[in-house]
Each structure stands twice: as structure tokens, then as C-alpha cells.
Amino acid sequence: MSPQDIIERLANGIDPITGEILSDQGPFNHPEVIRALFAAAQALRTREDADDRQPPSGAKPLNAGKAWSPEEDELLLRDFDAGVVPKELAKKHGRTKGAIDSRLVKHGRLQR
């Protein structure tokens, strides 16, 4: 069960472990607490959605800006010639897709 699921169950007055309805006398029955729990669940949902869409802001691939070794160039060209798409090559080499495209242009595999 995810933290978001636990918070949503508490906000709905349900014990997240047992599934039983929480006591009317407990703190989870107070309107301000319920609103805060729903807000927290929404914030977690929004963060998870954003994490699925894009990498963290400012995060660069591991090898971004580093020089290319002859061996890495050879591997890049071999993989590209075998049909690996630039997006996958970028992941494999720890580079941006733009860096992969530029390198493939330099070696005559792509046209600009």
C-alpha cells in the first residue's frame, strides 16, 4: 500500500491496516484534519504524476558534457546501425538525445 493510499484511507475515516471504520471520537474525524489529509494525498498524487512525466529539474545524464572515447563512438555507431533508436542510445550512453543526434551527424549516420 502506497503512502498516498494510506493517507486517502485515513481521510475517508478508514483504518488503512484493518479496513475498519475509525472512531467518531478520534482526531481523524475532525474536519481540518480530514481536509489536510486530502490535501496531502493530492500533493502526493501530483508529485507522482510529475515524476512519471519528466526527470527532476536540472538533472543531467551521467556523461553529459564529457568527451567521447573512440570505444564509445564505436559502440554508438554499432548500436545505431543495429537499429537502436537515438532515445534508447541516450539512455544507454548517459547522454542527452541531442548529444546522440549530434554525434550521429558527425559520423554521417544522420542528416541535419
C-alpha cell, 103: 554525434
Q: How far apart are alpha carbons 82 and 73 in whole angstroms?
A: 14
Q: How far apart are alpha carbons 42 and 24 in whole angstroms?
A: 24
Q: How far apart are alpha carbons 60 and 96 in whole angstroms?
A: 8
What is the DSSP track for 46-107? HHHHHHHHSPPTT---TTTTPPPPHHHHHHHHHHHHTT--HHHHHHHHT--HHHHHHHHHHT
Residue entry with cell 475515516: 13
What is the tens place of the pLDDT at every residue in 46-99?
876 665 555 555 688 889 889 999 999 999 999 999 999 999 999 999 999 999
pLDDT for the residue numbered 50: 63
Residue entry with cell 481540518: 32
pLDDT for the residue numbered 69: 93
